[in-house]
Structure 1
């Protein structure tokens, strides 16, 4: 899946989840697009560094700590984008789990 396709898919997922989850909000579609772009940049540059430093935790938890890392990326995205946010870190983890699940179902690579 190309970068712009993933950004578009994440934008749609953000807009849909904002209607179903109480602790997750997107005020405008422009905020969802910007959040998808920021999330892709964070996933490209920040996430690998955090993954390397948290490798012992990821190994001890048999990979479950990776959900925490993904939640952290959503939480950081909400910090940078106005009109996009989560009310708690647990909500960020839930959004990241749903986002990962939908992306894995749609992606055929």
Structure 2
């Protein structure tokens, strides 16, 4: 259970940091950050595998680059579900998903 809360904290902090680097991503507060991190985890656990399964041919043809588009779509879906988290454009979601992954990876490495 402690691992869940650490992961939630890392994701929330990653979202906050990402909003500083990507224009077009906005969080209204700490509560929205934690709620967005929670929903981000659920979306990546439940919906992303379905998207990955159905877009497998595109991922093969693009040598995996289409995975970046799936990550951006998952971030857009998270923003649609969370009040207080907004994304202005798909390009902001695309770059936000890349930066979010990198920041999350660094923070996970530091805290685990």
Which TM-score applies when normalising by structure 1?
0.90
What SS does structure 2 have at the residue aligned with 1:25?
A: strand
Instruction: List runs of 5+ in structure 1 lacking aligned partners.
Output: none
Bigger mean CA deviation after superposition, 66-75 or 14-23: 14-23
Which TM-score applies when normalising by structure 2?
0.88
Count matched residues: 109
8 Å CA contact retained: 2:51, 2:70: yes
Runs of 4+ in 1 over 6 A off after TM superposition: none
RMSD after superposition: 1.7
Q: Which residue of 1 is the match for residue 15 of structure 2?
A: 14
8 Å CA contact retained: 2:72, 2:93: yes
C-alpha separation between the residues in 1 aligned to 2:103 and 2:18? 11
CA shift for structure 1 position 17: 2.2
Instruction: List runs of 5+ in structure 2 lacking aligned partners.
Output: none
CA shift for structure 1 position 85: 1.2
Q: Which residue of 2 is the match for residue 67 of structure 1?
A: 68
